[in-house]
Amino acid sequence: MVNYKSICREVVKAVRETGKFIREESSGFDINKTESKGLHDFVSYVDKGSEKMLVDKLGKILPEAGFIAEEGTSSKKGVRFCWVIDPLDGTTNFLHGVHPFAISVALMDYDEPVVGVVYEAAGNEIFRSWKNGGAWLNARPVHVSSAPALSDSLIATGFPYYDFKRLGNFMDSLAHFCKTTHGIRRLGSASIDLAYVACGRFEAFYEYGLKPWDVAAGILLVREAGGRVSDFSGNEKNISGNEIVAANNLVFPEFLKNVSKFMIS
Phi, psi at 104, each rounded to 5°: -125, 125
Q: Are 221 and 125 in contact, with CB atoms under 8 Å apart?
A: no
Using a 10 angstrom Cβ sphere, with 0-12 exposed, 13-18 middle and 19 or more buried, the burial of residue 8 is buried
Which pLDDT score, from 0 to 100, does residue 245 have?
98
Q: What percent of the chain has pLDDT over 70?
A: 94
CA 73 – CA 56 distance, rounded (Å): 10
Which pLDDT score, from 0 to 100, does residue 71 have?
74
Vertex 53, ends 48 and 55: CA angle to 5°? Answer: 90
Q: pLDDT tens digits, residue range 6-55?
A: 999 999 999 999 999 998 888 776 566 666 544 444 467 788 889 999 99
What does each C-alpha distance from 215 to 25, 66, 170, 231 come to in angstroms?
25, 18, 19, 12
Q: pLDDT tens digits, residue range 97-144?
A: 899 999 999 999 999 999 999 999 989 999 999 999 999 999 999 999
Domains and CATH numbers, the chain: 4-142 (3.30.540.10), 150-263 (3.40.190.80)
Q: Tell me what the pLDDT averaged over the chain comes to.
A: 92
CA 55 – CA 69 distance, rounded (Å): 8
Using a 10 angstrom Cβ sphere, with 0-12 exposed, 13-18 middle and 19 or more buried, the burial of residue 183 is exposed
- Put simply, whether the predicted model's pTM sits higher than 0.85 gets the answer yes
In order, the DSSP letters of 102-128 are: EEEEEEEETTEEEEEEEEETTTTEEEE
Sign for the CA dihedral angle at 208, 240, 113, 161 comes to negative
Which amino acid, residue 168? G
Q: Are 177 and 184 in contact, with CB atoms under 8 Å apart?
A: yes
Which pLDDT score, from 0 to 100, does residue 260 have?
98
Using a 10 angstrom Cβ sphere, with 0-12 exposed, 13-18 middle and 19 or more buried, the burial of residue 159 is middle
pLDDT at 72 over 80: no
